[in-house]
Amino acid sequence: MKKIIVAIDGYSSCGKSTMAKDLAKEIGYVYVDTGAMYRAVTLFALRNGLFAPDGTIKSDELQGRMGDISITFRLNPETGRPDTYLCGERVEDEIRTMEVSAHVSPIAALPFVRRALVAQQQTMGRDKGIVMDGRDIGTAVFPDAELKVFVTASAEVRAQRRYDELKGKGMEADYDSILKNVQERDYIDSHRPVDPLRRADDALELDNSNMTIAEQKAWLLQKYREAANA
């Protein structure tokens, strides 16, 4: 069975990270959550006053600080999954807040941010044996990936999942606000000028609105085996 690249793209809160993490653990591949990388940059910008009072990004200042931003992943022995570190600090919980969610899509739309992170992502996948999820993995980061999956679900289902996730962590959550955020992120991600969210022509589409995590996991594992044995 050959080593391949698995590229999983899709809308926010559609469960693609859970699918990707589970698959990587099952088959012994490296997992990279590219969404966490953009969230880490967003957290850095929020912490360093790089958003103006009206919510616009101080892009020139952020571009000048990109060299200060170090994003790494370390395996959490308790969960068996990688945690995100920003400049050496574990920020796995901080990057999942609604504040970061509300600001991440404009940050991810900045060409200089995308160039920097895409270059890092391509380096990570140089030796294959990797599962990577995000918005543009199959279209921009790894257009030659052996397996591409595009995951989608209704906005309402995704908002409910996000609500349940936040409440499960003991965090404040409002369904209507989350639904609005999901819809706004869909629009920004799909309409940004650089590498917009779209399904690659050769990607398999999976609508998981009515699927359990176990069903998604079985489906993805089967597709991986088919691709790795091709």
Residue 69 pLDDT class (50, 70, 90 cuts): very high
DSSP 67: G
- Residue 219: what pLDDT? 97
For the segment 78-93, the average pLDDT, to the nearest whole number, is 91
Task: Give the separation between CA 170 and CA 28, rounded to whole angstroms.
Answer: 31
Residue 230 confidence (pLDDT) above 90: no
Residue 78 confidence (pLDDT) above 90: no
Which residue in this structure is represented by tokens 């409910």? Answer: 160
Taking the model in full, what pTM does it have?
A: 0.82
Residue 79 confidence (pLDDT) above 90: no
Q: Return the structure tokens found at 11.
A: 């809308």
The top-scoring range by mean pLDDT among 67-81, 86-100, 182-196 is 86-100
Residue 195 confidence (pLDDT) above 90: no
For the segment 141-148, the average pLDDT, to the nearest whole number, is 96
Residue 192 confidence (pLDDT) above 90: no
- Residue 81: what pLDDT? 80
- Report how far Cα 117 is from the mean position of its chain's Cα atoms: 12
Residue 75 confidence (pLDDT) above 90: no
- The beta strands (E) that lie in the chain are given as 5-10, 30-33, 71-76, 81-86, 89-90, 130-134, 147-152, 204-207
For the segment 137-147, the average pLDDT, to the nearest whole number, is 95
Q: Which runs of consecutive H residues, i.e. helices, occur in 125-191?
A: 155-168, 175-191
- What is the greatest pairwise CA distance in the chain? 53
Residue 20 near residue 27, CB atoms below 8 Å: no
Kindly state the helix (H) or strand (E) to which residue 45 belongs, with its residue range: helix 34-47
